[in-house]
Amino acid sequence: MEPAREQHLLDHLAILMAVCGVFTFLLIKILGSFYGRYSNGSSHCMLPARLAWVLQELPSLVVPLWCARAGDGHLHYWPNRILLAMFVAHYLQRSLIFPFLIRGGKPSPFTIFLSAAIFCTFNGYMQGRYLSQFAVYPDDWVTDPRFVLGGILWLTGLVINIHSDHILRNLRKPGETGYKIPRGGLFEYVSAANYFGELVEWCGFALASCSFQACSFAFFSFCFLFPRAEHHHRWYLEKFKDYPKSRKILIPFLL
């Protein structure tokens, strides 16, 4: 494909992602979630949690790396290298580390797994191809306040996300079953601290890259994560009479 046509395609893919974000937001708000604690086990095809996580998230790791090797492009520029490394680092943790730390995760419905795998392939191509072949930054972009602040937000969000997952994994002692109220970290302020960390991460990535593609992904992340966080928040309030009423849904002190 000619470079100009492919770059035009990447812009259209970013628009499509934003539209899908709105559709996903409405779908989850209306129908709710169908996996994890909300699954009724009625799906005819369920995948083990670890296997589903690895296979569905892996395209967001493999596809950008493939894009990086598909041509010389712009990866000799440090901003492009760092931004692509930020994206890849998240999915390295998400596809090859996080799944193997899961303790007794519930099976995932095949339809949920398939939709996640398609999204990760689509997004991995869009982000990886844009950063490796088309993104152009000034020579001093790595010192630009937008890049610096975005990088700090990305790293902060990654740490919050990993720490919050650690808290959730360790809620139950060996042999225990059932659900407990998360305590510690950002869970003292919001019901979905892990989602908040991921949202901060991708907003930081969008600011650091200042690209339409990254901004579209950050917007989709909010559309996907907020209704799920709202569902979690409502579930906690209904299940636990002593659930802290001061906790917000997703964003501390605000939302």
Instruction: Determine which of 74-78, 97-101, 163-167, 237-241 has the lowest per-residue pLDDT on average.
Output: 74-78
Kindly state whether residue 70 falls inside one of the protein's structural domains. yes
DSSP class per residue in the chain: --HHHHHHHHHHHHHHHHHHHHHHHHHHHHH---SGGG--S--S-EE-HHHHHHHHHTHHHHHHHHHHHS--TTTTSHHHHHHHHHHHHHHHHHHHTGGGG-SSPPPEEHHHHHHHHHHHHHHHHHHHHIIIII----TTGGGSHHHHHHHHHHHHHHHHHHHHHHHHHTSSPTT--S-----SGGGGTBS-HHHHHHHHHHHHHHHHH--HHHHHHHHHHHHHHHHHHHHHHHHHHHH-TT--TT-BSSSTTT-
Last residue of a domain, one of 88, 119, 139: 139
Residues 135 and 219 in one domain: no
Average pLDDT, integer, range 209-237: 96
Residue 5's pLDDT is 86
Query: What does the pLDDT look like over 230-247, one tens digit per residue?
Result: 999 999 999 999 999 999
Residue 35's pLDDT is 60
What total of structural domains would you count in the chain?
2
Query: What does the pLDDT look like over 14-60, one tens digit per residue?
Result: 999 999 999 999 999 888 766 656 655 555 688 998 999 999 999 99
2 — pLDDT class (breaks 50, 70, 90):
confident
Residues 152 and 28 in one domain: yes
Burial of 172 (0-12, 13-18, 19+ CB in 10 A): middle
Residues 108 and 195 in one domain: no
- Percent share of the chain, pLDDT over 70: 94
Query: What does the pLDDT look like over 79-96, one tens digit per residue?
Result: 999 999 999 999 999 999
196: Cβ contacts below 8 Å, ≥ 6 apart: 157, 160, 164, 186, 190, 229, 250, 251, 252
Residues 185 and 128 in one domain: no
pLDDT for residue 122 is more than 60: yes
* Host domain of residue 132: 38-139
More confident residue, 86 or 74: 86
